[in-house]
């Protein structure tokens, strides 16, 4: 069956009343509008916005990966992640929730609305892609288990199975890989748990069978192969933040104005653009400022990077 793109809206179709658009239109249309809002109409950025939601190829997305559990090279995950067993898959959901438990992924999926989201992915290393995910809103899963009043953060944990994950036999990171979001970030409609790519099940190297995707944050926040979700009242352990807090903040919102101590974050290299293609400007909040700026009102984003 032919795969049809859902990003066929043009700028003219995008309306500021994004809340009235259906979710699919929101992603395709509002993304184009968002960059303009965030950057005050900077012509360069607007030009970068035009047409940049054309997804990368399956080959690019599945062969250029970061998944340190399978090695630190970009092609290591594609070579090694086949060994990971992903069925059955269970997710432990605990902490400040009404219905804690160990849930089968099939049981979760039966209750969720899976839809396509075409999102930019901006790695902290200054490369980027456009990825046609399928997934469901994390907020729906949180509602399923019932978040209790005191909860302020959501913590996530990746599978830790050294016999299937050769990279974890070395102390490259403090395994298991862990990440965290503030509760309002986790509940934001752009935040999804992805289960597919190009309408097919997520390949192991991209975080099968289920991963987080937070498109306005650097890619390392989008933790793969999630086996545990914990609601908590304290800022959770986040692997890269704990590894080097000077270089990787807890928030890690994409921000062209706050450089990494060792490189500029003002521009990025789009994977598949060719060796000599021009770098493109990085957009504030990765182009999703129209939707997420209000989450950070009054916060110094240079301090809380």
Query: What track of x and - describes contact with ligand MTE for positions 6 through 45 (by CB under 6 A)?
Result: ----------------------------------------
Report which secondary-structure segment, H or E, holds 46: helix 43-49
What is the nearest approach in angstroms of ligand MTE to the Cβ of residue 269? 13
The gap between the terminal CA atoms of the chain, to the nearest Å, is 44
CB atoms within 10 A of CB 166: 16
Under the binding rule (CB under 6 A), the answer on residue 219 touching ligand MTE is yes
- Cβ proximity to ligand MTE: between 31 and 254 the closer is 254
Exposure b/e, 264-287, CB count within 10 A at least 16 = b: ebeebbbbbeeeeeeebbbbbbbb
- Quote the CA–CA distance of 218 and 253 in Å, as a whole number: 6
Under the binding rule (CB under 6 A), the answer on residue 250 touching ligand MTE is no
What are the phi and psi torsion angles at 193 (to 5°)? Answer: -100, 115
CA distances from 279 to 135, 160, 179 (A): 30, 36, 29
What is the nearest approach in angstroms of ligand MTE to the Cβ of residue 70? 8
Q: Strands across the sheet with 101-104, in order? A: 101-104, 90-95, 226-232, 153-158, 178-182
Under the binding rule (CB under 6 A), the answer on residue 224 touching ligand MTE is yes
Query: What track of x and - describes contact with ligand MTE for positions 189 through 218 (by CB under 6 A)?
Result: -----------------xx-----------
- Cβ proximity to ligand MTE: between 60 and 144 the closer is 60
- Quote the CA–CA distance of 196 and 90 in Å, as a whole number: 17
- Cβ proximity to ligand MTE: between 26 and 214 the closer is 214
Binding residues with ligand MTE: total (CB under 6 A):
17
Which residue from 121, 190, 227, 283 is in contact with ligand MTE, where contact means CB under 6 A? Answer: 121
Using CB under 6 A as the binding rule, the residues of this chain from 49 to 88 that contact ligand MTE are: 65-69
Under the binding rule (CB under 6 A), the answer on residue 156 touching ligand MTE is no
Under the binding rule (CB under 6 A), the answer on residue 271 touching ligand MTE is no
Phi and psi based region of residue 201 (left: phi greater than 0; alpha: psi -120 to 50; beta: remaining): beta
Which residue from 30, 183, 190, 223 is in contact with ligand MTE, where contact means CB under 6 A? Answer: 223
Site for ligand MTE, rule CB under 6 A: 65-69, 121, 123, 158, 177, 206-207, 219-220, 222-225
């Amino acid at each position: 069956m032919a795969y049809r793109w859902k990003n066929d809206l043009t700028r003219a179709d995008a309306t500021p009343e994004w809340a009235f658009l259906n979710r699919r239109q929101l992603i395709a249309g509002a993304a184009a509008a968002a960059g303009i809002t965030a950057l005050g109409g900077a012509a360069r950025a607007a030009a970068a916005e035009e047409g940049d939601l054309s997804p990368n190829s399956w080959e690019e997305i599945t062969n250029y990966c970061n998944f340190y559990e399978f090695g630190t090279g970009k092609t290591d995950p594609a070579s090694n992640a086949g060994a990971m067993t992903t069925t059955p898959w269970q997710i432990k959901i605990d902490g400040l929730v009404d219905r804690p438990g160990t849930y089968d992924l099939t049981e979760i999926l039966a209750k969720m609305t899976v839809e396509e989201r075409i999102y930019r992915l901006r790695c902290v290393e200054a490369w980027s892609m456009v990825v046609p995910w399928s997934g469901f809103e994390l907020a729906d899963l949180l509602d399923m288990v019932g978040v209790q009043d005191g909860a302020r953060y959501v913590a996530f944990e990746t599978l830790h199975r050294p016999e299937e994950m050769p990279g974890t036999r070395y102390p490259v990171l403090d395994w298991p890989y862990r990440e965290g979001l503030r509760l309002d970030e986790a509940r934001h409609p752009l935040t999804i748990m992805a289960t597919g790519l190009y309408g097919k099940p997520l390949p192991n190297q991209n975080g099968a069978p289920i991963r987080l995707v937070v498109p306005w944050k650097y890619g390392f926040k989008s933790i793969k192969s999630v086996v545990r979700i914990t609601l908590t009242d304290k800022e959770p352990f986040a692997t890269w933040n704990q590894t080097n807090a000077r270089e990787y903040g807890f928030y890690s919102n994409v921000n062209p104005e706050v450089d990494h101590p060792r490189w500029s974050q003002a521009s990025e290299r789009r994977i598949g653009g060719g060796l000599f293609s021009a770098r493109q400007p990085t957009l504030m909040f990765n182009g999703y400022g129209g939707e997420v700026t209000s989450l950070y009102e009054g916060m110094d984003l240079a301090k809380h990077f």
